[in-house]
Structure formats: structure tokens, C-alpha cells
Amino acid sequence: MELKELKVFIVGNKHPGWGGKYFVFVKLTTNNGFVGYGEVYSASISPEKMTYVIEDIFERHMKGENPENIELMFRRVYSSGFTQRPDPTIIGAFSGLGHTHTFIHYLIMIIKNSGLVPIWQLKVPEKC
């Protein structure tokens, strides 16, 4: 399974604008049809520019990657800048993509625990 498509949604917020002037949501789709949604909760630039940042991060660091490799993708994004220091805009963009991955990861666990995979691939929950 690998990440295939990204769609960014910008949703305006009516007056009085509680929560901000707009919300940025992302939709990720895997190559076998799983879909996950997330919210970019730390957009420090305009929504149009944030869309470009999100799309760039997805294309460079996440597209084609297994959704279970969330830590690997986070490390790539975290240290991708010139100084290898986190940038608030980049980490804000990853926030929505990371939440989406979490949702897709839970879907993967449901499939794995449904008997559709060999027993050796099942993960034992920490608390039974």
C-alpha cells in the first residue's frame, strides 16, 4: 500500500470567525482506495500559499510511501530545510497530513486484524 493522491480543501469561516478566518483540510488516498482526512491546524501563511506548501511536502516526502512509515516521513519533513531545523509552516502543513496518516493507519490495523493477512503480520495490542 502506498500514498497516491492528495486534495486540499480551503473552507471559509463566517463572521465572527471563531477558530480563524478559514480552515484547511486535506484528503489522502492510497493506491488501493483507502481515504483519510486531516486538518492543517497551524497555517501561518495565506491559504493559497499553504496549499502549495502542502502539495510540495506530499510530492517530495510522502507520495509513493507506505502510510505506516509515518515516523520516517516526519523525519524527512522535519529536517528538509537548509538548516535542518523545523519551520512552523512546514510542520503546520505536516500536521494535517500526519493526522490523515493516523486515520489510514487505523484502517490498516482493522484490515490486518480481520483475518485477511497472515497471522505473523498481526500486531498485538498493548492492552488486552
**79 against 52, higher pLDDT:** 52
Q: Does the pLDDT value for residue 78 go beyond 50?
A: yes
State the pTM of this model.
0.73
Q: What is the pLDDT of residue 38?
A: 81
CA proximity to 66, closest of 128, 9, 4: 4
Contacts of 106-114 with CB under 8 Å at 24 or more apart are: 107/34, 107/36, 108/1, 108/34, 108/67, 108/68
Domain ranges of the chain: 3-121
Identify whether the C-beta of residue 88 lies closer than 8 Å to the C-beta of residue 42: yes
Q: How far apart are CA 96 and CA 32, in angstroms?
A: 21
Percentage with pLDDT > 70 across the chain: 71
Q: Which CATH class is domain 3-121?
A: alpha beta
11's enclosing H/E stretch is strand 3-12
